[in-house]
Structure 1
Amino acid sequence: MNIAVEYYWPIVLLVLIPTVWWVQRRSFTGFTAHQRALQTVVRSTVLLLLIFALMQPTWERSGRWLSVVYLLDQSASVSPASAVTASQWISASTLEGQPDHWQAMTFGASTVAFDDLEAVEVAISGQADSPLSSLSDDAGSTNLELAVREAARVFAPNQVKRLVLMTDGHETSGSLIEAVGLLQQQGIAVYTMPLDPRDLGDGWVDDVRMPDVVTIDEPFAITVRVLGQTDTPAVVEVLHDNSVLDAKSIQLSSEPQEMTLKGNLTEVGSAELVVRLRAVEDVMAQNNQLRRSVVTTDRPKVLYVEGHAESQHFLTRALEAGGLSVDTATAMSLPGDAASLEPYAAVIFSDVAADALGRVQMEALSGYVSDFGGGFIMAGGDAMYGEEGYADSVLEALLPITFTVKERPEEFALIIVLDKSWSMVGEKIELSKEASKAAVDVLADHHEIGVVAFNNSLDWPVLLQRASNREWIKDRISTIMPSGHTNVYPALEEAFLGLEGSESRLKHVILLSDGRTYPDDYEGLVTKMAEAEITVSTVAMGQEADRELLANIADWGEGRGYVVEDVGEVPQIFAQETRRAARPTLVEVPFSPIVEKSVEMFKGIDFASSPPLQGYLSTRLKETSEALLISEEDDPILARWQFGLGRAVAFTSDVKNRWATEWLEWPGYGKFWTQLVRQTMRGSDDRFRALTVKREADRAHITVDIPPAAGDVTAPPTVRWTVGNGMTTTIRTERVSSASYAASVTLGPEDDQTFQTELPDGSEVARSLLYSYPAEYQFRPANVELLQAIAHDTGGVFAPSLEQIFEDDGVRTVRPIALWPFLVALALALYLLDLLLRRIRLFEASADLASPFQS
């Protein structure tokens, strides 16, 4: 038994008890000492009881008392028959489960409570008999959040709380997820029961997704989702000013269908598009169309700088055909400040010699991308790379790739440092030997090859020599046998000493190990090797390899690090690594680009059918950049990254009639470059994209992103919100990042809404939310995902049986019972006893007492 008290200050009153005892010892009454002692005990007990009562003690009684609240959705989207069945189920379950407390509530836009089971059925039956057009305003909306919060208030205190939520799960106002914290805090388990949608045999346009801002004469995608409750032929259309822009015939069915239609606007400004569904058999016309607002801007301008002016027409024509406005320029005419480049959405370089640009112009390009959010694309050409190109320049820092120093020389020396410790026994050592032999086969006769095998010591199975004697070298590699422990440092140092004496201009080490080694100054050793122009690549084989050390060695040695789980991959890696290290930077052999990462800009482009490119320049990808197209040797062909506010792209082949001769005739050439430029460039004018308004149920989420070109922000921008009746409200935004501000408002009547804001440079931006039809007229199947999530997050059950709702899951509650009334009653009883003891003499001092009562 657990007893708690509210106050502790009455404890000080205990000092009165000794006083009572002191007084009784000096009593002048004629009672005997025994009776006076008895009276004092009674009075002391009365004081104790009163003191304890003043402390307001409570007895925390543990037990299981069950409070159940039923929430029944009566909105227009719910099937009347399903709601009636649910109301009957409420009556049956309550009578059978016999909870200690129950409450039934119906809800739509608001809630109504019922204490009578029969009244629930009557109310729901009345709604079921009403036609859709005559339903109450309350049925025209579903606010699950409000309903759940109202239900939380009616639970009986100090009882196990179970909320039975019967709904289709489609909320048109509020957000049920926002109420989950309250439910968890109050320990309310939600048992969710999906209801069927109202079935009218209807079809409707459920959703439309399209860009907020498009470019004049530029086709844009409009994604439409339609749903139906019957199989019937239908047509989906996109209209502007009552003219059909695109249409698609479909067979309407009970399954959601998504399709993409095309829009194309020819006038600058704001436009209203209507997506309309025309079905052969349709019940309701109100939900057959959705309206959307779009802003049309001028063609984006790009600046194209071609190193060979006679070839610039290839790309220019392709981009103009794709809806871009192209200005051409020479390297000499490029401005020396970023602000002069700001009118352009992107700048394209193609085979521009580095010595044709000054450092000031390069810095202007860098600032244009990082500070103004512009796009920069550099396409290949031998004038742009190597020692005579942009290596270590401002533009190299801007791009997602690193330029190699210059064309690699033909002289090449390779030493393979091979782990032959006991852990390599079996398949590992055999495949490592085969890998070393594969590297020998890749080398030219005049290249040099050496092999250092190591355990806790080292030896040279193959001293550094010409690779022409291949069979003898392979036989020597075959003699390597595993033994001993792993010690990498001496072997790596031996390889360093061996390559120092080589006259080859390109020197490379491949280190393979599958274990952990002794600590040493690896960084110092490998740094010396790099300074001596000896590169080091590493292969970490298996789980036990020291992956961190080997990766660091590859980084310090300016090579590549490989991690191998499947030892069967080792021969291929050795051959590939040897080929990459030995060949020149300028790769002029036909190849077909391989898609490394599928991205939006590749949509509609079939690289499998593309003709080969005739060459490219070998580069290295920077750590935080991503390769989208690669060669067969894993060299980046198309790479991109974010640079400040803008994006930079490198295409290591070219755009003209040197390496892209066959591409110029390929139908995908124009599409590839147009989509690449559009994905890289800044918006045609980011001012138009500064304001974003997204609707979620009855909330509008507003974002204002101030573009650099609009100037500096001195105060958070305000947004003017105008509803259809002309009433305007000013909305204050709050800063969420350096140049981004946000606000959220609850939308009022079912009407068009317009939002406008003024940017720092005085330009106005506007967005509109257009009203189409009540969201309750979307008769979707139950939102099972939401209902399952709510049940899971609150400890309830989805689609429970009656037994699950009322079952004893071991959860207990505590009921506080106030003890002070009982203490006061007992004290009163003892007080009466004390009064009686004052009148009755229980103990006599002598035997000749006249009467038992004292006057």
Structure 2
Amino acid sequence: MSIEVTRLYALLLLPLLIGFLYYTTRKYKVKNKKGKSVLITRIIIFLLLTLALCDISLKINLKENSTIYLLDLSDSAKEFKGEGEKLISEAIENSPRGDKSAVIAFGENTAVEQFLTKNRNFKDATAIPTKTATNIENALNTALGIFDNQGGKRIVLITDGEENEGDMIKAVPSLKEQNVALKVYKINKQKQDEVYVEDLKIPENINLGEEFSIVVKIQSNVKTSGKLSLFSGREKKGEQQVEIERGTNTFVFKDKQLSGGFKDYKVSLSADKDTETKNNEYIAYTNVRAKSKVLLIEGKPGDAGGLESLLKASYVDYKKITPISAPRSLNELNEYKAVITCNVHKEDLSKEFLDNIEPYVKDYAGGFIATGGEDAYALGEYKDTALEKILPVNMDMKGKKEIPEISIVMVIDHSGSMSAGDGISKLNLAKEAATKAIDNLRTTDDVGVIAFDDSYDFVVKMQKANDKNAIKKSIGSIGDGGGTSIYPALEEAYKAQKESKAKIKHIILLTDGQDEFHEYDDLVKKLNDDKITLSTVAVGEDSDRRMLGILAEDSKGRSYYTDTNTDIPRIFAKEIFLSTKVYLNNRTFVPKITGNHSVLKNVVEDGKMPNLFGYVGTSKKDKAINVLSSDEDDPILSLWQYGLGKTVAWTSDMSGKWSGEFLTWNKNLQLWRNIVDYAITNYDGDNSLKITQEGNYAKIEYTLKDGEKAGKVTGVYNSSQGEKGDFNLDEVEPGKYETKVKLKDFDFYNFNVRKEVNGSVESSKSSALAMQYSKEYKILQNNENLEGLVNDAEGSFIKSAEDIFKGKIKNEASKTNLTTLFTILAMLLFLIDVAYRRLNIDLSKVFKKLGLVKLKSKFRKRSEKQFELKKAKNKGKPTNENSKKIINKAKVNLESDNRQDSKEDSMKKESIEVNKEQKKIVKKESSKSKNTLDTKALLKKKQDRNGREV
């Protein structure tokens, strides 16, 4: 135990205390008992306050120590896990009794397996840290935060020392400050054959069509053969069979790019002798400088004919492709300033295109223009897709043209011939078509499904389409049947629709055969009388196309023939919308100008516009701008800003079927120049964007020109595999903003950073990052850092569990600060002093009442007699009778006093008992007297009362 005084200079106040004591006693000559008590109390208060100012702590050395085991579970040390667990288990089991132990697993981060405890059992590590990096600095700092402030501290670090994040040397000052004994068990890994791609060098910027070199650097600790493959996006650019020597190897590819934008490259290595494959790929990118380009996607040949002519006349650099060739990655989309679709059905576009079109517009300022036709908008199944989300129009009709309740009955042939088909049967396609049609119904709509062969069955009885999964399950249960009998099934569908209360009633008939019965006139009349429409789908050459066509025409429906099975699902989905007669509008009208916008600049002369002959029905979104409308106020040309980008909806076509007069109008060229210019947003300024990799993080640096200020700087990122996120940048100096974003995968990432002022985006910048595999998978030999840590921290390397507890460990004492105690005592004495002086409390009477005076006197007398006895004994062995008499007398007196004390205590107890008995008797007599009638007193009270009444 020891005492620690932090402010020793405060003890200089003690001479003042002594001087004050001397001066007071000499000047005031305090003689009475009260004055002496006040003086002594104040001296003690002054002394306690002085001690409180000294900041005194009491330190008690403890024998228990704490040991924290840090186990490296990163991928570079993964094979040592079992051996490391065995070492820790043995060490904890044999640790000194009373010691505490903790276990922390680490890689890139830490995972506490066991907090400090005296439990001596440890089997294996179940905590799982991130294994793709090694950060020893972070592990040491975590351990330092877990230690308590009692006993000695010891850290046992079990690692290969190959740190690739953080800097373990930075933890040395903290280790020394806390007197931590560091023990390091270095993992000695067996040498394995290892080959990896260390670097891929590409020029940062290249010109369109320019040939450039791609340099691949490979490291190896073994001589072997292998194959190098080079890819750019989905395209394979080259392949080489290579001989790899020990050390550094360099190989070169050549390439050129014919389109602009960021181009990612990936090299892949396959070696005959190799252990770790995670380091066999490397990514890089280059920026191809090219003129702004527009992508034109044509649904069917001729659908983009009119628009293509306009683009050529406007000298717009464009590329025309089919839907199946549409870009499948965000990086491919970012090659273009805008994308235009001409009568493109959703089913013809890839899922990857639909997944990336929204971030392309919203986050990377891409433009999107959709033009109409019978395969676009609602008829192209845009509803509830990314296309509907980014366009300024809804696929559902709203307001006065909102669709009333619909009732649909699907009549499906499941005869034996329907089981035929190339790869997939016609019946399965029919069931898929019915399922798709269900998706386009609302929960308020009615639906029924009849399956027929030579008889029929109501597979889905008429019901609301609110349980779509159950309806689809029933449709899926339709099996193969026998012959073909159409009329009875069709008649049953009519009966079901006649009972329906829906405003729109429609039947869809699908068959691949022929029916011997051809007398449908009475059924057609019934359908027309009850305003029920019928559409037919003839599948294959064996179907009765003529009869089915007449039946649909007479029943005010549409007839389809398909010999390509893939058309069947699309037909059914489209029929749901066509049955309403509001989506497909074939009529002549003059568009109305409903909004004043820059796209009409130099276009309108005296308010005159040419005719249109049709369009697809949509409804305007709330924040969109309607520039042109139909004669029924449906949108023809609508536009809006979506995120950073802008989108345009032209609901008529561009093939000439509906827009023939528009395409020959002398102002149409200016109109479409304005539309394309509007869609192509240019936010690029003189601001700079730099993105670099730091470990598993992307460091983003955004610098504004001339140190200008921004209200807010934000950004987004997207990987080629679909990972995405957003972030905010912090201003680190005037006009410079930075942040770090943790990325999960080895991949190519697109970034966009934008500057906002008053909530409006003023400028933005795009860039990219090729995120490489972690340095964890490189051949590293960081032994120097580990040895430096041990030397600087005055630690030691160990080879076994027994070495952990060898050597001295600085014992951290338990420290208790006494400042608060001294302060509280001083305050209590001060209150007693005030009470003693102000309230004239006689402390002797208080003590006497509490029995403390007698106790003090008794204690003093006994002490005096014990002292006399001790004094007599200390004179030595008695040599005469006189000394023996003195000792005996002292013993007798002491025994007599003890008996007297005992007798007094006994008498006191008896006195207390007697007093209790007397009190009981008095109480009893008093009670009796109360119960006895006092007639004299009652008579007197009565006389007094009579006198008052008189």
TM normalised by structure 2 equals 0.36
Computing the radius of gyration from Cα coordinates, the structure with the larger value is 2
The structure whose RCO (Cα within 8 Å, separation 6+) is larger is: 1
